[in-house]
Structure 1
Amino acid sequence: MKFNLKRRKQLLNLTVILTITVCLLSVSCKETTDSSKSTESELIVKINAVQEQIMAQGNMSKEEEEAMLSLCSIISHDDGLATYTTDNSMILKDVEMVPVYEGCEELSKEETKECFDNKVTAFIKREFNLDLSKELNLSEPKQVEAFFIIDENGNLTGMKVRDSEVNIQAEILRVLRKMPVMKPAIHNGKNVSVLCSMIVKYGNYVDIDIVYIPERPDN
């Protein structure tokens, strides 16, 4: 029994180390801006800190395992560290016609915008794993800003989540990657890429506010 427990811990630690290696290799192979590299470096420092703690104590708690996997999830994709510094996307509030979410077709401009907000909000609430935020045992709800781009083909990309618990960041990015393709925004008769922003409130529940930023977020 003791042997099996020891073996299980060894395999778990080996799995984590392999996961870290894959994450670091994925980062090293990507072409990024200085700002993105800085963000990645900060995440790698966090990964190293968790790894050192695991090695020092000889095992890994459930919380440490989840933190490790969340950090790797964030940096192993190149669409979750957007900087927006050279992006040509318009801000959502400035376009003539916002992206059309499935089910929002053949509506007025105002109705299409309201439908877009409602559909995005409902999707994130439905897909978000509420257990992750409940496990934080927060004394009061918290919130984090998130940004994403819907490009001229209607695909969601260029995601970024402000600083928050790593499992929350990773979960928001995971949900955003599942967002369906939409009809792209239109401005001056052409399909355009748009930058969208929202506030995610979390605790024992998840709530979403679609916000319209006056300018591009600071990196």
Structure 2
Amino acid sequence: MNTVSASPAERPRTLVWDAPVRVFHWLMVVCFAVAWLSGDSERWKLVHITAGYTMAGLVAFRILWGLIGTRHARFADFVRGPRAVFAYLGSLLRRQPEHHAGHNPAGGLAILALLALAVLITATGWANYNELSGEWLEEVHEALATGMLALVLVHVAAVVVSSRLHRENLVAAMVHGRKPVPPREGIRAAWRSIAAVMLAAVLGFWWLQWQSAPVDIVSGTSTLEAGGDDD
């Protein structure tokens, strides 16, 4: 059973989130923020593309880790049906929230939606970059990105509200990995080695992208500035 009934103040802090989940979470935050901020800039196009491709790789990893990862990282632990989602939301409205060691049902639904949007955004972005479609797909790409931003904002608001109602810092838990739950609800290992490999792979990819960047981007000058005036 994933639901915990004791009050947060009475529960010990137990390791719940493994290191790969936490590193994935914060890398996705960084990549989406960078991709969003650089989306309309031709000068930062390579940065935008790099952030998008990184998101695609991270999502692929998260799907795999959701199948073979630690207890609360697995989809089987937090993917629930509509009845469980509505029951959890109802408990919030009654100010008697159900406590879950891992993701709550509503949070699990949000995670699935964010992963799906990330896949669609990177797919449409790749198609646009390779000129495989017309302007309509570019508009779809932008609409999906806007939808993901809206969902992220809802997610952040939900985390703030849930943290207050549960009387636990959910943001901090995604940093150190520990939540106030009984030891039996925790995980045995943080799997820091997997997180280190993932982080090294991402940094290595960024380095390769930087090495292959056009000279005008690396030097901080535009193509017109580098070529001079034709007159």
Q: Could you tell me the TM-score, scaled by structure 1's length?
A: 0.28
**By percentage of residues, which structure has more helix?**
2
**By percentage of residues, which structure has more strand?**
1
The structure, 1 or 2, with the larger RCO (C-alpha pairs under 8 Å, 6+ apart) is 2
Q: Could you tell me the TM-score, scaled by structure 2's length?
A: 0.27
Task: Look at both structures and tell me which one has the larger radius of gyration over its CA atoms.
Answer: 2
